[in-house]
Each structure stands twice: as C-alpha cells, then as structure tokens.
A and B are shown apart, each in its own frame.
Chain A
Amino acid sequence: MNQPVQTFTPQAFHQQAHAALENPQIRANFRKAMDGLMGKRREAFSDWDLETLRQLGANIRLRALSKLPDLLEQLEANCEANGIRVHWAENGEQACAMITEICQQHGASSVIKGKSMVSEEMHLNAHLEQAGIEALESDLGEYLVQLNEQTPSHIIMPAIHLNTDEISDIMHDRTGTERTRDVDAMTAAARAQLRERFMAADVGVSGVNFAVAETGTLCLVENEGNGRMTTTAPPVHIAVTGIEKVVEHLADVAPLYALLTRSATGQHVTTYFNMISSPRKAGEHDGPKEVHLVLVDSGRSRIYQDDELLDTLRCIRCGACMNHCPVYTRVGGHTYGTTYPGPIGAILMPHLMGLEATKDLPSASSLCGACGEVCPVKIPIPDLLVRLRREAVGDGVGNVPGAGVKRSRKEVAAWKSWQWLATHPNAWRGASLIAGSFRGLAPSHLGPWTEYRTAPKPAKSSLHTLIKRHRKEQDS
C-alpha cells in the first residue's frame, strides 16, 4: 500500500478501452450496477416535478458562481469567526503540503479519511505516506479499493468494478478475513477493522459536499457514518474541497441535497447529512479541537474565466452522468485513467491535466445526450464535450491548457480544400466527375473506419447529375 498503482492513464485510453471491452467480468459488473442505478433514479424522482427542481438546482449553482469570489471571502470570514481555520491552495501540490504540515504539527502518524474526490485528485495518500504518515480510507468502497491498491472506478461507488467474490478474495488476502459470500459478514469484518483505526487516528481528513458561505458550515453527505466518525473522533479534522463547492445560503442546500441523493443512487435521502460549523466548543465533550478547511483551486479559476466552460463548475458530483453514459457503462471507470471518469471527467479533466494528456476523453462519447438530460444542475455536458473537441483541434488560443494538441495540418488542408470546392460549383462538378470516373481506384481500407464497415465508393454520377438527367427525360 505504498504508492497508488497507476496502471491506467488517459494517454492510453484507446488500449484500455479495448482491454475493458474484452473483459466480460468488468462489463457484467458495470452493466448490472448501472442498470440498477438508472432504474432507482427514475423511481426516486417519480413523484417530483423534476424539471422545476433541476432548474432550481441549476439556478442556485449559477447564483453561487456569479458571486464566487465574494462568497469565498464570506465563507472564509464566517468559518474563521466560528473557529475553523481556512487555507488556500493554488494546486494539489500546495494543498498536500499544507495538510502534511498540519499533520506534522500534531505529530500525527495516522490519518483516517472520509471519502474525498479532491484528495484523490491531488494524490494526498501518496504524499502523506512519503512524509511517513499512514492514510487509511474509511468509506467501505474506498477501503476495499485501497486494500487492492487501486483507485476508485466511480466517484460515488468506488468499488463498483469489483464483485462479491473478488472483494471476498481481497479481504482474505489483505486482512485475513475468512472467505465468504455473505455481505453482512464482510461488512462486519470491515467495521471491526476500521473501528480500531478511528480510535487511534490522529487526524481525520474529509471532503465537503457543500460549503455554506452564509453560516460558515461544511456539509457532508453519506450513508455509512464513516464521514461522521472521521469528522468527530480524531482530535483534528481537515476538510479539503475545490473552490467551486461554495453555496450562498443554508436554505440552498435543501434542494441540492434532494437532487444529489436521488441522482446519485436513487435514494430519497442518505442516512446522514452532517453539518459542521465549528470545532469543539468549551464545555462540549467530543468532536475535534481543531478544524481546518483547505480550499483548492487546481485549474478551477481558469475554467471560471470562460462563459461556456464555467458551467463545468456547477457540478455537485452525483455521478448520474456516468451511470447513464453508454460509453462509461461499457468501458468502466478505470479506462479513463483519470480521477473523475465518465462524462464529467471528460469535461473536467482536460482543465486539470491539460488536453495533451486527455485529448481522447472528450471524444469518448457518442453525444447521445443522456448525461445532459440527467444532470441535476443542467450542465450542458454534450455541448462542453463538443467545445473541448473543438479546442483540441483548434488554433490553440483559449482557456484550455493544451488546446490545439490534436490539430493536424493534413486535416486542416483537407477541410480547406473541401470548403473551396464546395463554394466553386464548376470545380465541384469537375471533381465529382473525376471521382466518379475513377471510382474503381477508391481504397477498400480506410483505417479504423473499415474495421466494421464497408468503404464507401463515389457514385458513378452525382445526385445532381441524375436529377438533371431525370428532368431532361421528363421534359422530352
């Protein structure tokens, strides 16, 4: 459990996708899970005016983004007034250094973690371990993935790629738990293993679902209780979150929470909604004596510059877009090679990692539109996928790092020629005549296109010519 094993990279998306498509276990695990989740979500919204609720969710997030710098300052002021110490990090590297430093100030040797995708994004566990601090995931799925030296394959259900037998093997091999297919027994074993660790942990690290500017409150959504445990049992709690997670009012969280749980897992509510506004006060008997909030930028302020890309920052991380994505369902989460997989990953990761590394991700979509239709805050994901595709082949000017990486001179020249031909009728007619006469010479293999298709051949005569001929015949 030293370094996270990075066997998947976005650069190798194509190879990874082929490998996943040929793995019946992976395909069956994801198919089963995604079908279940889609059905549950539909059921959970059945007696709601979903469009109105989604519009409200979108409007709340847009309002928060429209005042983002003010709200961040208000959040900071209110947190500090409540006794929560606020830190700002330009990138994951800085955030990891800050968290490591806080741990070291307390002489911490063990950190217990609640689920946090931002901490995954910055590879916090690896950083802490380099500093000699053991970081243990406590969300059951994250725990299993960590035991198996993997990364999460889904942002809500990290171990969705594993089935019961595989998990039984992992727990047996790594913790000595007796092999079983009894999920209750496995859960009880994990409970016992982690309880010890909660008691011994020096620091708890968690993510944040919503940070409320108005009251300086950190909201955490969960079912297991590990989030509450992480933020209550250890003497120090460090919450880490992206700067876009702020909302203006406490009342704003009500509709967002209703959208989040139903969109994510089809639950009408999660077991716990944990709202933290301060460290342990004088006279109180439990809870951390210190609470820190680390606000991480990591490319978010660059996304914020662009009127269209800005919509990416509305995301409340429910995962509905991946649950409904035909590509994600077939290739699974690891194939993307990025912290956030699926449609949200495809529109977010190019900003965090640059288009050089992630150029294939915006193309990993049939643009069927399902992601945009289910998004609880109405992010126009298909439009953003198209925008990023354009950025990848464009002239390299703009707000996306690595823009223009897929630009090919040949392709540009081909389109330019086509454009010229299509606007010069005589030349077009000449070219069609030539193409028609030499159709026997058209190649029968056209790269990947002809792997599953027959190569097209130019027609003997163009439609234009045929119609002309037809009219002539009728007239005569």
Chain B
Amino acid sequence: MSARDSILGRLRDRQGSALVAPESDFAVVTGRGWSREERAERFTRWITSVHGEVVRCNTADWTDALAGVLAEKQIRRLALGRQHPVALAARDALASHQVELIDADRDIEAWQEELFQHVDAGLTSTRGGIAETGSLWLWPDADEPRLLSLVPPLHIAVLDVDAIEDTLFDVITHQGWASGMPTNALLISGPSKTADIEQTLAYGVHGPRELVVILRDG
C-alpha cells in the first residue's frame, strides 16, 4: 500500500469517538464599520509603525510624488512593468527624468544578475490595502513579476485610498479570493525586517530596506 493510502486509511479508521465540527463565528474579524478616512488613517498609522513610509497625494498628480520619492532616495535605476496603468503613467512622467527605467516583464533567467545587483528600486501597483494591519495586497503577474517587490532595496507601491478595506477577512471574502487564486498572492506590511539578533530590529535583511506607499486620493 502506498504511504498516501495507509496514512489516509489510518485517519479514516480513527479509533476515537466521532468528531464533530464546531461552528465558526467570524464576527470578531469583520464588521469594523470604519469610514473611508478612518481606513486611510489606520492603514497609514500601522504601516508607518513598522517602518513603511506613506506619501499621500492627489491621484491627478501622483507621478510628481513618485518623482519626489525617486529624487529624495537618489534612485538611478527603477524597474517597472510596461502595461499596468501605474507603470504606463510612471514611464510617461519619468521620460524626461534622469532615472533609468528598466523593464521588469522579462524572464528572470535573462536578467537575474542585473535585478539582484544593479536595480535601485522596484515600482508596483497594488490591488488594495488593509486598514487593520497596514497591509498592501498584491497579485504579481507577467507585467509586474514576484521578485519586483522583493529584490530591489526600495519598493515603491501605489495604492488608492478607495481600495483600502477594513480587514484581511473582508478582502478575502469581498474580493472572492477563494474562487480563483493567482500563482502568488501577497500581503506586504512594511520593509523586510528581522529581530533574530538579540531582539534588535534591523531592516532589509533579504527584501527591501525601504517601502514607500504612494497613497492616491481623490
């Protein structure tokens, strides 16, 4: 008999009494009832508490905010997609800037070394945010691959205030995640960190040292 069949067999022929599934009441993780502004405020407070930076701006001129971040952080090489409206607008706005734009929609095998060694920042869109924990949620795709938000030392993420929901439970249920998960779904709450050396916080251990959220409003 295969290991599979014998394990499942033992579980099915359980000796003890019949197991009954208790009811799960999810009220405690939903129904926060926060206003739009409360959500933005909570999101900002929580993500800032773990070293994330939030730049709130008008949707109309968010690329100015982006240019400001790039200048402040002295970014010379920025990797980004080529199709998402966020990437398109950024490319448009940055065409006349000093920043070198690097296409992220390439097979990693072709540019791994470049991505790991020579990219200063990665720009991504986000699908939404979570107020309760100050989290971004991303579904990386062909245009904005998984490593774009992980490998460069700075991750710049673009989020709309209207896309912030109260809790993770709300996002999973409202957005129908269970009916079709992508290859990789991610929650990101701050830059990479560790406390493995005597409980002392240090940032950027494997992923980005810095995370900047451009929070678009109006």
Binding site for B on A (CB under 8 A): 29, 32-33, 36, 48-49, 52-53, 56, 58-60, 62-63, 65-69, 72-73, 88-90, 94, 138-141, 144, 157-160, 162-164, 167, 183-184, 186-188, 190-191, 194-195, 198-199, 214-217, 223-226, 228-229, 232-233, 243, 249-255, 257-258, 265, 267-281, 283-287, 295, 297, 301-302, 304-307, 310, 399
Contacts and interface: CB of A to CB of B under 8 A. Distances in A.
Contacts of B206: 138, 191, 194-195, 198, 224-226, 228-229
Nearest to B141: A284
Contact of B207 (A69, A215, A272, A284): A272
B56 interface: no
A188 B196 contact: no
Q: Which 9 A-B pairs have the closest CB atoms?
A: A225-B207, A141-B196, A66-B19, A269-B133, A225-B206, A254-B169, A273-B187, A88-B4, A286-B108
A266 B185 CA distance: 24
A225 B183 contact: no
Interface stretch (B57-65, B87-95, B120-128, B174-182): B174-182
Interface stretch (B8-16, B66-74, B156-164): B8-16
A286 B178 contact: no
Interface string B104-119: 1111100011001000
Contact of A183 (B7, B188, B202): B202
A258 B183 contact: no
Q: Please indicate which of the listed interface residues B10, B104, B202 has the most CB atoms of chain A within 10 Å of its own CB.
A: B202
B4 A275 contact: no
Contact of A191 (B29, B146, B204): B204
Contacts of A271: 50, 188-193, 207
B29 A254 contact: yes
Interface string B10-39: 111011110111111111110000000000
Given A304-B11, A307-B16, 20 more contacts: A48-B28, A49-B28, A69-B11, A90-B3, A94-B3, A139-B196, A140-B196, A186-B197, A232-B147, A232-B184, A250-B178, A252-B24, A254-B29, A267-B50, A268-B132, A271-B207, A275-B186, A276-B183, A285-B142, A286-B147
A139 B182 CA distance: 26
A286 B145 contact: yes
Given A251-B26, A254-B29, A277 B196 contact: no
Interface residues of B, number: 80
A223 B202 contact: no
Q: Please indicate which of the listed interface residues B4, B28, B106, B196 has the most CB atoms of chain A within 10 Å of its own CB.
A: B196
B147 to A, nearest CB: 5
Interface of B: 2-4, 6-8, 10-12, 14-17, 19-29, 46, 49-50, 104-108, 112-113, 116, 132-135, 141-142, 145-147, 150-151, 167-169, 172-173, 177-178, 181-200, 202-208
Nearest to B105: A285
B197 A250 contact: no
A270 B12 CA distance: 36
A401 B186 CA distance: 41
